[in-house]
Amino acid sequence: MFGKKNEDEAVSNSGKGPEWKLLEKVISDSFVEQRRARRWGIFFKLLTFAYIFAFIFLFSNQSGDSMGLKTPKHEYTGLVSLKGVIADGEEANANAIATGLRKAFEHEKTTAVILAINSPGGSPVQSNYVYDEINRLREKYPEKKLYAVIGDLGASGAYYIASAADEIYASESSLVGSIGVTAAGFGFVDALDKLGVERRNFTSGEHKSFLDPFQPVNPSEAEFWKGVLNVTHQQFIKRVKDGRGDRLANDNEQLFSGLIWSGEQALDLGLIDGMGSPGQVAREVIGVEDILDFTVKPNPFEAFTGRLGSSIGSGIASYFHSQASMAGAESLR
């Protein structure tokens, strides 16, 4: 019996040997290291969130100031920028531009409004929305004039919008005009045969897939599509004539051909009224040098989150969905 007890004590004491103590120390140090890493992880997460919220807060304050939320003490020239391609979903979309214009016209301290343009054009629908909104605002606020000022480029749909202004200004080297409509695409008729791929396209309606880039061009369908584009072109021409009136050099046969002109040529053609930058127009034409920016800025939270997540998936889906239709998409360019 005493022999059995001694054996148990020996086993128990062997468990307290150097190896066991070393194992205990390793485990203890591991737990300490994990706690330390967890604390630093929490710290860096909090720091990241603080940085994000500080960025959003500062950006929101900046946007609020530019939207006229801080009432100025004296008269200002309102400014709305139109930059980039005019299209739904882009920064230069009709809703954003029209909202900025409304804010500028409604503000009690704005004497006049400048629409600063640097755009190649884009959607005829979006351009028409802005054109109509400008006419509505000019009628509602007859005492406030709208001046379109073209920078590097004011072409096609951008000029469509500019023609609704009271006056248009540009630089001598600006590119102005391009009064026309285009619908460009590519044809891949022989590509599938060379790749050994059979395409299967099921439609209901004789001409449902007439814009399909994988089938040969049908002459009658091509003529039809040109007719559709011509209707939009005539609408474009009418809008420009309504806006510019007798200032246009209507004796020039190339005026509505889709050609683009320098600012100097555009002045001779009656497409613009003079030369000047937004600052010059505010100072020398309007007579109110101080400018208050009413341009609608993209939402910073949406830009940070939505575009990193859902927009990626929707962008991929829309890309494949739109390949055939984009081959014939109508654009004022």
Mind listing the pLDDT tens digit for each residue in 241-288? 999 999 999 888 899 999 999 999 999 999 999 999 999 999 999 999
Same-domain status, 58 and 75: no
**Highest averaged pLDDT of the listed ranges 47-61, 129-143, 221-235, 313-327:** 129-143
**Is there a single domain that holds both residue 158 and residue 276?**
yes
CA 152 from centroid of its chain's CA atoms = 18
With tokens 């497409």, the residue in question is: 271
Average per-residue pLDDT in the chain?
A: 82
**Range list of H helices, 141-294:** 157-162, 191-195, 219-244, 263-269, 278-280
**Catalytic site residue 171?**
no
> Can 208 be counted among the known catalytic residues?
yes
CA angle 122, 128, 130 (to 5 degrees): 95
Pairing of strands 110-119, 274-275: unpaired
Q: What is the pLDDT of residue 58?
A: 61
pTM of the model: 0.71
- Say if residue 164 is in the same domain as residue 60: no
Residues 118, 51 share a domain: no
Instruction: Provide the pLDDT for residue 194.
Output: 81
Looking at per-residue pLDDT, the higher value among 50 and 183 belongs to: 183
CATH classification at residue 141: 3.90.226.10
Tell me which of 123, 127, 156, 178 is the catalytic residue.
156
Residue tagged active-site, from 21, 208, 226, 238? 208
**Do residues 108 and 53 share a domain?**
no
Predicted local distance difference test score (pLDDT) of residue 331: 59
- Note down the domain range covering 50: 33-66
Helices (H), 249-309: 263-269, 278-280, 300-305
Residue 7 is assigned to a structural domain of this protein: no
- Does one domain contain both 43 and 173? no
What is the pLDDT, as a whole number, of residue 303?
A: 53
> Cα–Cα distance between 26 and 33 in angstroms, integer?
10
The pLDDT of residue 48 is above 70: yes
Decide if pLDDT at 61 tops 90.
no
Residue 1 lies in a domain: no
Predicted confidence (pLDDT) at residue 224 exceeds the cutoff of 80 = yes
pLDDT, residue 333, reads: 56
Residues in contact with 157: Cβ distance below 8 Å, sequence separation at least 6, in sequence order:
86, 119, 121, 122, 123, 124, 126, 127, 331, 332, 333
pLDDT in tens, 207-223: 888 787 878 888 888 88
Identify whether residues 290 and 144 lie together within a single domain: yes
In a shared domain, residues 58 and 161: no
